[in-house]
Structure 1
Amino acid sequence: MTTLKDISNIEDIKIMVDTFYANVRKDNLLGPIFNDKLQNRWAEHLEKMYGFWQTILFDVRAYSGTPFPPHKQLPVEKTHFDRWIMLFNTTIDAQFAGPLTEEAKMRATNMAHMFNHKIDYFRNQDKAL
């Protein structure tokens, strides 16, 4: 049995992000949404995600911006976020283990729940107008 190492550097983040989004692209629920939105801009998106996770996990200011606005108009519901969390956790668990790995999973789960809540909030606000 191979012992998995913890996420410890930018190369690990790149492996995590690249593998996760390769799984997203192939997923029958999430793939069509991401592929339609990103089209030929996957490399740009992955670079942003490297910086995002480097900032989150290593407190290195490699990402600036607000991640929610680009997601606000996506045609997603709780089912999509549940799948996103499941894919993220299974992807990362197959590659890494340790405190930063657990931190990444917790942060991803919290972010997915927050995005889902905020999208629902904005949709309900739009309906009320």
Structure 2
Amino acid sequence: METKRDISTLADIQLMVDSFYGTVREDELLGPIFNNLIQDRWPEHLEKMYRFWDTILLDSHTYHGAPFHPHATMPVNSVHFTRWVQLFRATVNNLFEGAKAEEACWRGEKMAQMFLSKIEYYQGQPPLR
């Protein structure tokens, strides 16, 4: 059995991001939304996600921007975010184990909760409590 290691390098971040979005693109629920919005700009999106997660997990300060804004008008609800979290957690746990992997899962879940709350607010729905 292969021993998993923790997330510790940019190459690890790239593997996590590429694996996750590879799964998302094929997912019956999320794939059509992401593929429709991103279209042929996947390399640009993945590069941005490498920088985002590198900054969050490895303290590299390579990402500059506001991550919520591009998501504000996405046609999504709690079902989509639940699926996103499931796929993200499964990807991280299939590839890695350790403190940074746990942090990635925790941060992904918190980010999804925040994005959903903001999207519901902007759509005029009461946020989940």
TM-score, normalised to structure 2, is: 0.95
For structure 1, which runs of at least 5 residues remain unmatched after alignment?
none
Which residue of structure 1 aligns with residue 123 of structure 2?
123
Q: Distance in 1 between matches of 2:95 and 2:57?
A: 16
Aligned to 2:7: 7
Partners of 2:85 and 2:3 lie apart in 1 by: 23
Q: Which residue of 1 aligns with 2:20?
A: 20
RMSD: 0.8
User: Hey, what's the Cα distance between the residues in 1 that align with 2:34 and 2:96?
Assistant: 25
Q: How far off its partner does 1:98 sit? A: 0.3
Which residue of the partner structure matches residue 114 of structure 2? 114
SS of residue in 2 equivalent to 1:75: coil
Distance 1:3 1:109 in 2: 25
The 4+ residue runs of structure 1 with deviation greater than 6 A are none
1:3 Cα shift? 1.2
Following superposition, the deviation at residue 100 of structure 1 comes to 0.2
* TM-score of the superposed pair, with normalisation by structure 1: 0.95
- Tell me, in whole angstroms, the C-alpha distance in 1 between the residues paired with 2:57 and 2:42: 22
5+ residue gaps, structure 2: none
Q: Deviations over 1:16-48 (max 9, x none)?
A: 000000000000000000000000000000000
Counterpart-to-counterpart distance in 2, 1:59 and 1:2: 28
